[in-house]
Structures are given as structure tokens and as C-alpha cells.
Amino acid sequence: MDCLKIIHMELEHGVDKHSKTLLVNHIELLLNYCMRFYERQFITRSKANSDVLTRFESLLDKYFEGETAENNGLPTVKYFADKLCLSSNYFGDMFKKETGKTPQEYIQAKVIELAKVRISVTEDTVSQIAYSLGFQYPQHFCRLFKKRVGCTPSKYRAQNNL
């Protein structure tokens, strides 16, 4: 409140060469307090955050168990944030603080792990696997797979079937 009072006072009375600098400094101080409060909640709410992560993992598993991915496409961070009753930005910040990864990175890692299993244990074509995981185009799946795994899905299948 003191910071706001000083800002208000500067706006009302300060009309010299230092006014702008003082205003900017006090607004920056106020914003720093806001960021401190925002980031502190991730530390003090670790139990609640852990529950959110567990629910997210469960939702992610369910998304790929049925035909949801094939019917709706790849899941988005917004989709899961909405299911968890959180904003996308808050969910992303909380997830990054807790895991060190963004939710998008985590979703992609999950997709790749599921793809590896399906490539290894089924006779499905790469295209069928891509569509079942929610990819609109198999080429996008192959590009992501190669980027994450280091080889194409076909080469991965050949290496793991020997």
C-alpha cells in the first residue's frame, strides 16, 4: 500500500526531472512484489500442485486409451488446463516449476512413448499409428518422432524387431 501511495503522490505532485524515474522505479517495485507473490504460490502449494499433476497424468492416459485422440487430434495444453479448471498460462507455469518441462514437451514425450510401444508390438502401419495418436498428417508424426528419437518410425521398428 505504501508503494501505491507513493505512486499516487508522485502523480499528483511530482513535476520535476526525477518524477518519471521515480514512478517507473515504484511501478517496477510493485511488479516485483506481484511476481514474488505469483511465484511463491508454486512453492507453498506443492501438495495441491502434486494433485493437479496426478490428475493431468490420468487425463492424458485416458485421452490416448480410447479413440479421443483419433477423433479430436493431438491434445492441447488448453484442453487439459480447461479440464483441470486452470488457465493455460497458470497451468504451464505451475507444470514447469514442478517438472522442469512445459506441458507441451510432456505431451509430446507421452505421444512418442506410446508410438514406440505401438511400433514395437503391433503390425499397424506408421500412418495408422500416427492417425490413432491424433496426428492429422503422418508426415508430422514422422518428423516429430525423428526429432525426438533420432530415427524414423520405420527404422525404429526395424531396429527393435531384430
Quick: pLDDT tens for 83-124.
Answer: 999 999 999 999 998 899 999 999 999 999 999 999 999 999
| Residue bearing the bigger pLDDT, 69 or 13 | 69
Same domain, yes or no, for 120 and 78? yes
Are the CB atoms for 3 and 26 separated by under 8 Å? yes
Please report the pLDDT score of residue 91 as a whole number: 95
Q: Which of 44, 60, 76 is the last residue of a domain?
A: 44
Same domain, yes or no, for 36 and 70? no
| 74 contacts: CB under 8 Å, gap ≥ 6 | 107, 111, 133, 134, 135
Same domain, yes or no, for 87 and 128? yes
Number of folded domains that form the chain: 2
Same domain, yes or no, for 105 and 118? yes
Same domain, yes or no, for 19 and 79? no
pLDDT for 14 beyond 90: no
Cell triple for 110: 507421452
pLDDT for 79 beyond 90: yes
Quick: pLDDT tens for 39-48.
Answer: 777 666 777 7
Are the CB atoms for 161 and 119 separated by under 8 Å? no
Same domain, yes or no, for 106 and 120? yes
Same domain, yes or no, for 69 and 80? yes
CATH of the domain at 120: 1.10.10.60
Distance, CA of 107 to CA of 59 (rounded, Å): 11
Same domain, yes or no, for 139 and 83? yes
Same domain, yes or no, for 31 and 87? no
Same domain, yes or no, for 59 and 28? no
Same domain, yes or no, for 125 and 59? yes
Distance, CA of 126 to CA of 118 (rounded, Å): 9
User: pTM for the whole thing?
Assistant: 0.74
Are the CB atoms for 97 and 52 separated by under 8 Å? no
Quick: pLDDT tens for 115-139.
Answer: 999 999 999 999 999 999 999 999 9
Same domain, yes or no, for 73 and 6? no
Distance, CA of 61 to CA of 153 (rounded, Å): 22
Q: What range defines the domain where residue 18 resides?
A: 2-44
Distance, CA of 107 to CA of 115 (rounded, Å): 12
